[in-house]
Amino acid sequence: MNVKQIGAGPMDNFCYLAWAGDGPDCAVIDPCWEGAKIEKELLALGLKPALIVLTHGHPDHINAAAWFLERYEGLQAALHPADDHMAGALDKSRLLPVADGEALEAGALKLKVIHTPGHTPGSCSFLGPGAVFTGDTLFVGEIGRVDLPGADPEQMRQSLLKLAALPEDTVVWPGHAYNGSTTTIRAQKLHNIYIKLAAKGGDAFLSAAL
């Protein structure tokens, strides 16, 4: 899997282009803030958007999705239905509901949906060959907020355990540039205090996360 990380907007968000490499089709993961800039990167790589993939419904991750949907006929945006209520600016008929365990396709690239609620009810991570896109569930040494409406710290704990169970050499591509731009599951199991506490149990995790 090829991955292009693109920083966008005032909140240090990351958008990603992911593609298999044997054709122009790519997934555009969390198109945000700067649609024209993201499209410019995409075209420079000889790519075309085959699927928009949204890690969750918060505006700072999806606020350029409509920009792409307006310009690319037939393009859909994959989003877990539990976050549909946050995606009011998007045409509902263009949303592709996803569920845990499903495989999404963008050309030859397959991305497995891992439902990782906690930051929001519909937060998902997307696992491609050798790498996972974690949105606001897992950052470098940090995790997403669990004190916002719809957040659930115990669900976040369970979701972190799901991610920690991935192969240790899996590359992590987070949704924000907090403490760095990329890491691995191995490094997070060693150094991310929240993953360590998640494994120890609910009380220890909750007192740190809230």
Does 58 participate in binding Fe ion (rule CB under 5 A)? Answer: yes
Residues 45 and 35 sit within 8 Å (Cβ to Cβ): no
Shortest Cβ distance from residue 62 to Fe ion (Å)?
A: 10
How far apart, in whole angstroms, are the C-alpha atoms of residue 203 and residue 124? 24
CA distances from 99 to 117, 122, 126, 155 (A): 12, 9, 11, 16
Q: Which one, 20 or 163, has the nearer CB to Fe ion?
A: 163
Site string for Fe ion, 138-177 (x = CB under 5 A): ----------------------------------------
Does 136 participate in binding Fe ion (rule CB under 5 A)? Answer: yes
Does 80 participate in binding Fe ion (rule CB under 5 A)? Answer: no
Shortest Cβ distance from residue 106 to Fe ion (Å)?
A: 22
How far apart, in whole angstroms, are the C-alpha atoms of residue 49 and residue 196? 37
Q: Where are the beta strands (DSSP E) in the chain?
A: 2-8, 13-19, 25-29, 48-53, 77-79, 95-97, 103-106, 109-115, 124-128, 131-135, 171-174, 183-184
For 89, list phi and psi in degrees, rounded to 5: -80, -10
Cα dihedral 28/158/166/96 (nearest 10): -30
Q: Which one, 39 or 136, has the nearer CB to Fe ion?
A: 136
Shortest Cβ distance from residue 45 to Fe ion (Å)?
A: 27
Three-state SS at 80: coil
Shortest Cβ distance from residue 136 to Fe ion (Å)?
A: 4
Residues 113 and 97 sit within 8 Å (Cβ to Cβ): no
* Number of residues forming the site for Fe ion (CB under 5 A): 2
Shortest Cβ distance from residue 64 to Fe ion (Å)?
A: 15
Of the candidate spans 75-83, 92-100, 132-140, 154-162, the one that interacts with Fe ion by CB under 5 A turns out to be: 132-140
Shortest Cβ distance from residue 175 to Fe ion (Å)?
A: 7
Does 30 participate in binding Fe ion (rule CB under 5 A)? Answer: no
Does 83 participate in binding Fe ion (rule CB under 5 A)? Answer: no
Of the candidate spans 11-19, 35-43, 56-64, 183-191, the one that interacts with Fe ion by CB under 5 A turns out to be: 56-64
Rule CB under 5 A: which residues touch Fe ion? 58, 136
